[in-house]
Structure 1
Amino acid sequence: MSLKIQIILMSYNRPEFILEAIKSIQNQTYKNIEFVVSDNSSNNVVFDLIQKSAPEVKIVKRGSNFSMSQHWNQILSEVSSSGHADYFMMFHDDDIMLPNCIADLVTLIEQNPTVSAVAGNAYVIRQTSLTDDIFNSRLKENLLIKNVEELGLRYFEAGAGVNPFPGYLYSKKVAQTFKFNNKEAGKHSDVTFLFKALTLGPIAWAAKPTMNYRIHGSNDSVGVDMLALLGLVKIYLRSAKSANAIYHAKEFTFKNYLLWLKEQNIKKMYKAHPQRVKTIIWSATKFFSQNPSGMMKYCLRKFGMADAN
């Protein structure tokens, strides 16, 4: 008997993309699917559009306009209390499933029956243009991730690559066991949610693309949130204790710290307060780098400043 899959299409104020997302779900070659749109928009534009253009689609309008975390947890609660599905996916309204998406992920589950979740790779859409770019281009064969340290290294180690979060298909037991908490790590709390899932079983990644993942200016990944990032690293290091894990977590944090400095217009600040800026960078390099003097000079060159003496 085939696995029953529940797909929840999460919507928030993106009517320009949602019909394409709906069509891609309806066109799945795998047929044992229950599909619903969870509309958390601040207005009725998406709801009215679906009622008019895709009236056959079940849509739940969230009247209270939940926060992102509340929306997630409402869906998890509904999945948990439902007896219908073996696995579920919380897909995003601006992405597109390839026709064999669910079929390929179900095959991956059948090959790895103890998994808590599986996820496919993706082609990249930039704004509205589909490219040949593979989101996780380093992944050449399917991968089974067994623990938090292994998953974290995929995020922290330079060039390792990850599969996109909207394409995850979770075991129902994930919804029955965990809630989403964006206070843990802000916009990186999707990763801490996966850390939790790993306590129930491994996560399998498919090297083959199963979706088209859209990158645009309103993606949550745009910009550096240092508090969120530090929250993620703190949670990771509770489980990952090896020297390799600590090294890559520090390196990842420091590189994002440099990006954050750039976003803060550090070059302009340096012209006004050179010694203060040097002190800020030096404090960070002493913590993150095994060669702080060399890293200090690298940082100043990177931002077009004079070398430290």
Structure 2
Amino acid sequence: MSKVSIILPAYNVEQFIGECLISLVNQTFKDIEIIIVNDGSNDSTLKIIENWRGKDNRIEVINTHNYGAGSARNRGLRFAKSEYVIFIDPDDSCEETMIEELYSAIIKHDVDIAICNYYEVKEKGRIKMVVGGPYNKKILNKDEKNVLFNVNPTPWNKLFRRKLLIENNIKFPVDFRREDLFVISCSLMMANSIVCIEKPLYNYRVLRPGSATQANAKTLTDVLEILKLIKEYAISNNIYNYWFEEIEMISLKYGIMWYKISLNNCSFKNIRKYRYDYINFFRSNFNHFKSNKYYIEQNGSVSVQRKILDNFLFTKVGPYFIYLIYKLKKEIKRKKDL
């Protein structure tokens, strides 16, 4: 039995999957299994995967219909045999010591999750991104509850103890975008402890065409549904009161972020629906969020411009005004690029 299972969902990534697999098979930590879930690709992705399977017997391939990344990850998790698992995206790559350093940290500190910093990879180069600390130290969640909204809500820079996910029935929602937010939030709430590594060990490719990162007309609706699922999960596991302010802060942070992204990408006719969904979500779930201790603390450090913009999102005309500002900025940029 391998010590670490690497789960890789793959759908139409012929341009990137080779680079990703090179970074995985060349890991300095050799005791791994690489589970590739081909999610109904109709390009040459499967051919490339099968070629790699012929070269490395640590690679297993599961073929499915196109049910989405969440379903593919769930299937890979069911198939995994190792004590520890990590979910990698097929258009990204890992530094060659990534698994070794995460595994060493999770064993040394006897924690449920090990997290590393990462690089954002863009056309002009890569930028180091920080997930926060303290580094190389066992962090008990009950002592550092703000990790719930400070840690990036993505699975690819995190090594999990598999039983944390299995025993607590933490799965990727399959009907929504941004399903990562649910899994990371719930696993952090249910984990006893985590450890963070300061070294950036993952290369995250930003906004490739067709990637799940890009917003479409459905994204904000899905984010709000995911936030509801996080609340429901906490209630069903009798931890909601304990984590209430942190769950509220997650909802504020990602609700506002994806509301802005959606306004930047939506059509004019969708603004009214987005505004209704957004305001109704907070009225129904977190009607007194302005008294949240984290919100008060954060609000003291943000600019006046940011405060006005965030409050403007709750007004009738605000979303329309912000939408027009985004369109104007895009038009100015388009003319500059001509």
Task: Return the alpha-carbon distance in structure 2 between the equivalents of residues 130 and 288 of structure 1.
Answer: 42
- Of 102, 116, 130, 1:120 maps to 116
- Of 87, 90, 99, 1:90 maps to 87
What is the TM-score when the length of structure 2 is the normalising length? 0.67
Residue of structure 1 in register with 2:329 after alignment? none
Percent identity among equivalent residues? 17
Can you list the C-alpha shifts for 1:108-152, whole angstroms capped at 9, x where unaligned? Answer: 112320x2222222112125x542x11337667357361695343
Task: Return the alpha-carbon distance in structure 2 between the equivalents of residues 213 and 32 of structure 1.
Answer: 24
Residue of structure 1 in register with 2:192 after alignment? 201
Task: Return the alpha-carbon distance in structure 2 between the equivalents of residues 106 and 78 of structure 1.
Answer: 20
Can you list the C-alpha shifts for 1:220-249, whole angstroms capped at 9, x where unaligned? Answer: 232262222222333445536555763663
Residue of structure 1 in register with 2:210 after alignment? 218
Change in 2 beyond 3 A, CA 1:165/1:176? closer
Establish whether residue 167 from structure 1 lines up as the match of residue 157 from structure 2: yes
Structure 2 alignment gaps of length 5 or more: 235-239, 291-306, 326-338
Secondary structure, counterpart of 1:208 in structure 2: strand
What's the C-alpha RMSD, in Å, of the aligned pairs? Answer: 4.0
What is the TM-score when the length of structure 1 is the normalising length? 0.72
- Measure how far apart 1:4 and its partner are: 1.4
How is 1:73-152 mapped onto 2 (pairs within 5 angstroms)?
73-79=74-80, 82=81, 85-113=82-110, 115-126=111-122, 130-131=125-126, 133-136=127-130, 141-142=135-136, 144=139, 146=141, 150-152=146-148
Secondary structure, counterpart of 2:6 in structure 1: strand
Of 5-14 and 174-183, deviating more is 174-183
Of 36-45 and 293-302, deviating more is 293-302
Task: Return the alpha-carbon distance in structure 1 between the equivalents of residues 257 and 153 of structure 2.
Answer: 21
Task: Return the alpha-carbon distance in structure 2 between the equivalents of residues 125 and 282 of structure 1.
Answer: 31
Contact 1:3/1:106, CA 8 A, preserved across alignment:
no
Q: Which has the higher contact order (CA 8 A, sep 6+)?
A: 1
Of 62-71 and 141-150, deviating more is 141-150
Task: Return the alpha-carbon distance in structure 1 between the equivalents of residues 43 and 182 of structure 2.
Answer: 32
Task: Return the alpha-carbon distance in structure 2 between the equivalents of residues 76 and 280 of structure 1.
Answer: 37
Secondary structure, counterpart of 1:121 in structure 2: strand
Can you list the C-alpha shifts for 1:277-300, whole angstroms capped at 9, x where unaligned? Answer: 9x9699679968869997358767
Can you list the C-alpha shifts for 1:257-288, whole angstroms capped at 9, x where unaligned? Answer: 3443343345x999xxxxx89x9699679968
Establish whether residue 231 from structure 1 lines up as the match of residue 230 from structure 2: no
Structure 1 alignment gaps of length 5 or more: 155-160, 271-275
Residue of structure 1 in register with 2:28 after alignment? 29
- Measure how far apart 1:51 and its partner are: 3.8
